[in-house]
Structure 1
């Protein structure tokens, strides 16, 4: 089993996430400055600029590490990735590695899911940028559970059902509302 996704450079990862949010903040800065040239607007511009800087720092940290290939090889989980444009390869013993499905809200009614592998004190996330297709994420999860000979627990079943619906292309709205409009 070898699963690959597109290998994005650090710049591509960072700007893909940064541009969508920063455009809104820059728009708010421009509007507040143009339509209210008082001392209050200067404070608002400073607050929004501070928000833009803190967003950049947060995104820098969250997009630094990126895993683009996973495979299982002789009782090891092999992760290939990129950390600030430096390639890396990690071999984790399956028997000592823990897998968890994690979720992160991405707006009203939109939740993204990713896999978190923990070995000793190290964490490695797959789909943290939500650019893996869910069918690939599910494939990694099932292959890992099979290789470790570990049963799927109740909490995981819930997340897996949602991820399977997302893999089928169902919208977040239909998933949240049980398929009813």
Structure 2
């Protein structure tokens, strides 16, 4: 049995992040362009409110779920997390699950890159480290442990991302 734990972040901490704030500010800047078209004040207000509702929906759906504890047992992965502020535990069969290691680039270069895992099952999808609660070493360990339990080899694309993570660990710490 192998367990990986991250720091706990409640829903308010996940909702009020700089990433969500910057998304909202960018939305407000771009949506102000609608005012310049000046169709009519009524239609402009309706369109602005509709777009603001979409923006809020995106921010809330992006912030609602967090996985903070991952346990590997025999042929199962046990995920502990929460949706909004309601805790849940999911037990997933490893044989029916697929994992991808991904990265989000940054203008800061490798130092600002964020690496995360996407666990896909036929019923559900989970994103691990969407709020940067796991360390880069932890992401590599979780990925390697998953591959070991599933008896899969790490392919070249995945090795390249792991090498980028190791390079970030060596250069930026």
- The TM-score, its normalising length taken from structure 1, stands at 0.73
Cα contact 2:119–2:126 (8 A) shared by 1: yes
Describe how 1:17-36 pairs up with structure 2 within 5 A: 17-22=19-24
Classify the secondary structure of the residue corresponding to 2:131.
Answer: coil
Unaligned stretches of 5+ residues in structure 1: 33-38, 172-181
- The TM-score, its normalising length taken from structure 2, stands at 0.76
- Structure number with the bigger relative contact order (C-alpha 8 A, sep ≥ 6) is 2
Unaligned stretches of 5+ residues in structure 2: 40-44
Cα contact 2:79–2:91 (8 A) shared by 1: yes
How far off is 1:19 after superposition? 3.3
How far off is 1:164 after superposition? 1.6
Q: How far apart, CA to CA, are the structure 1 residues paired with 2:52 and 2:171?
A: 33
Q: Which moved more, 1:98-107 or 1:59-68?
A: 98-107
Q: How far apart, CA to CA, are the structure 2 residues paired with 1:65 and 1:83?
A: 4
Q: Of 136, 144, 151, which aligns to 2:138?
A: 136
Q: Aligned residue for 2:64?
A: 64
Report the count of equivalent residues.
Answer: 161
Classify the secondary structure of the residue corresponding to 2:125.
Answer: strand
Q: How far apart, CA to CA, are the structure 2 residues paired with 1:107 and 1:85?
A: 33
RMSD between superposed Cα atoms in Å: 3.0
